[in-house]
Amino acid sequence: MTTLFDKIIQFILYMTSKYKIDDSHGISHSFDILHHTYELYREECEKNPELQNQEKIIYISALLHDVCDKKYMNEEQGMNEIIEFLSERDLDSNEITIIRRIIETMSYSKVIKNGFPDLGEYQLAYHIVRESDLLCAYNVDRCIIFHLHNQTKNIEQAILNAETLFQERVFKHQENGLILLNYSKRMIPFLENQSMVRLERLKKIQISGMRAKTASGGASL
């Protein structure tokens, strides 16, 4: 029996192929955000048991949030395809409306520009999905992959671009008032440290390792 979960995963694969969405915003990112969403949802349910009634909305919003990303397509067109897909599933019109509102207002750039939307009883569900996505932003490799696909083919430049983005944006999530939930607050110190370690490691590998081998006549990649 094909489940809704399975149909959503197949839809993500279809959309990433159709719009050439690269690895940084593809199916692996959908799984990454799902793991953070699960932990946030589980923890918040202990204090807000009514959230259980919104579980489907939370997981679907998390999984589908990037398959209408304006970096890869016309955002409205992508959203219309999401709505068409969801309309053929076992969701009522209110659930679809809330999923749309979450996806359309959760991005970093829109929050910085417009602030948080007012989603009433679904406000906590919104923050769970939004913060799950922010936590995924600490993935250095993902950031570098995006730059390699969309900004530069040079790995050194992609690493530098990622480092600049992390210093100017990612490491300022808390300072900018974007982190509200306790799970996220606990995770950020670990994620920040992991990000810095990986950035430094990549810079050392590129400079001390591969360059040195090439300069001494060794094989290069």
Residue ranges matching CATH 1.10.3210.10 in the chain: 1-136
Q: What is the pLDDT of residues 175-192, one digit of tens each?
A: 999 999 999 999 999 999
Q: What is the pLDDT of residues 121-165, one digit of tens each?
A: 999 999 999 999 999 999 999 999 999 999 899 999 999 999 999
pTM of the predicted model over 0.75: yes
Q: Which CATH architecture has domain 1-136?
A: Orthogonal Bundle (1.10)
User: Which residues have a Cβ under 8 Å from the Cβ of 95 and sit 6 or more positions away?
Assistant: 56, 57, 86
